[in-house]
Structure 1
Amino acid sequence: MRLRLRKINFRRNGGELLQQRKVQIFTEEELAKATNDYNDSNKLNDDHSSYVYKGTIAGDTVVVVKKPQDEHKSIIRQHFEDELEFLMRRSHKNMVKLKGICLETKIPLLVYEHIPNGTLFQHIYENKSTILESWEDCFRIATQAAHAIDYMHSYAKFQIVHGNIKSANMFLDKENSVKISDFGTSVLISPEHRDIIATQKKDSLGYIDPESTTGELTTQSDVYSFGVVLVELLTRKKPDVTKSGESIITIHRLINTIHHFISSVKGDTLSNVISFESASQDEMKKIRTVAEIAVRCLDQSGANRPTMSVVALELADVYPISTDKEEDEETKREVDVDDLSSCLSCLGMDSCI
């Protein structure tokens, strides 16, 4: 009976098509073994819509398995195969690599690479962290993150709305470069339900686009959330929390922090919310520029916010980051070849390339 159910789920979740496209597909048994049957000792966190576990596959490869809660099975959309294939085959260097998927469960399980150096949230608020001691590192991380989100919005074969941009979904690797995670979930979830998932995550409320209460999340919602992350990087102030660790009071204080930040930028009192003790005159100019970008991202109206392409370009002026042009051209060439192959296949000429 269980084997039959796995086969039904596999077929319903598009397994045969993804298998033909040579996407890495894990069995339910493989992931259960990798996580020691989802033992609590391997549990990394619980984000209110899914459980996240650390596991080991192929002997010594450490991965992260994201297991959505069954209560959300009704909001998983159909026909996500194209976007998922693209993400697995061509990921931006500042996105956590999506290694594979398990389709034998009602809701597909996503398997990501494991990033060992913690989240940006932890490094902003933990006193022991030294990674963000310099403004240069803050600018670098902001620029890297902006380019990754811009890639999802503008350069991926299919426009991808992340829907849950926050510092807790940004990881730092061994070189302290930022990598954005949790984007695979947005591919699986129906667009009209993304705002439901986001609002059910108590630790995400402060990052949610105020316009999302009346409609689905969009690329401009991601821009707003990124603006909140910029505020976190610039102020490095953690919202007060109650002993329970989570409270609507926390959200109100975060929102008040944002309003106070916006007022300080517009009123030229930025020094009241940001410590300039270690900043040079040149750095202070850059801080002001980044703060102004954040304010535009946080506009209450999505139509007035800049696109992530504009944000990425403006942050690159503050902190230019090197790009591997050969790698970019190779990615573009691969995408072009795929498109050409699809066209020729329809004409029965795919053997020509």
Structure 2
Amino acid sequence: MADNTSDGQVDFLLEVLQAIADSNGDQQVVEKLLEANIDKLNQTLADKLRDWATTKLAEAKPDEAISLSADIVEFSKIVAKLPLGDKASNIEIAITGYEVALTVYTHEAFPVEWAKTQFNLGLAYSQRRKGQKAENLEVAIACFQFVLEVRTREGFPVEWAKTQFNLGIAYRNRIKGEKAQNIEQAIACCQQALRVFTFEAFPDDWAWTQYNLGIAYNNRIKGEKAQNIEEAIACYQQTLRVYTFEAFPYEWASTQTNLGAAYSNRIKGEKTQNIEKAIACYQQALRVRTFEAFSYQWALTQTNLGAAYSDRIKGEKAENIEVAIACYQQALRVYTFEAFPYEWATTQNNLGIAYSDRIKG
């Protein structure tokens, strides 16, 4: 039987930290230990980590404190990325570890380690499930801004770009502040990241940044809407230079879906052709987004495809409406009243409109 008592949790924590110290950087050794003790990764462990480490670091000699802080940070990084267990608890443990380590890794004494730990803390708060989301994002933004005090473009170009990118994502998701300005900040951060993340030097990072820049332009409030959509389309098309069906099928499908939505909303160009392009994008996405593998994303794409067929100008109108009805009905296999009430209601509404416009039957 697992020992989740107070002493048992501390013993497990010591075992993990010793494994990290002995692992020579082999994370798999630590991951296997954590996976074998998933039941111990909970809020109690986070609390014990804070209490034990705070006392231990305060009492330790400087060299011992530095070594222990490094092990705690490594533990936090591993547990934050662990795919098993309760994600919310894993993130709480990671946050605790980073915050404890920062009592040793101060800006004045260890600026580089301080910046690395602040960066990881920002990532953890961005992903945090406990607490108020709005507050978590504010902490994440503050962490990334702290990091940029040390990680300059001149001194740490790649790390600077990664921080700019993650700061941009945090601003895009920000709840506090003026939404329009938050999106402007997100765009600016992504554009900054692209000064380092070029297609030639960092194709994967470049593509991921282009993808998120496209989302920001699609959501942009300032500027001319028609031009913002053109910018979004351009970003998604750039993304597809790297995110191919063969190499990155999931990311390719997500980009196709977003590109389809941008074409559906496009103001410039011929409307008839824009809708055809949107339909083609959604159909491409469904090559990956299957009901079996990605049910929610499949339903979302079916809904978007139904809307595109409802608006379609080419083809026979009666047949287009039949296809739209079929798409909405497919989406309702996933969008049930119990599981997804909002999506269910929206799809029911769209289905009702399609039936109102129906020519056949």
TM-score under structure 2 normalisation?
A: 0.28
Larger radius of gyration: 2
Instruction: Select the structure with the greater relative contact order (CA < 8 A; seq sep ≥ 6).
Output: 1
Please state which structure has a larger fraction of its residues in strand: 1
Return the structure number with greater helix share.
2
Q: TM-score, normalised by structure 1?
A: 0.29
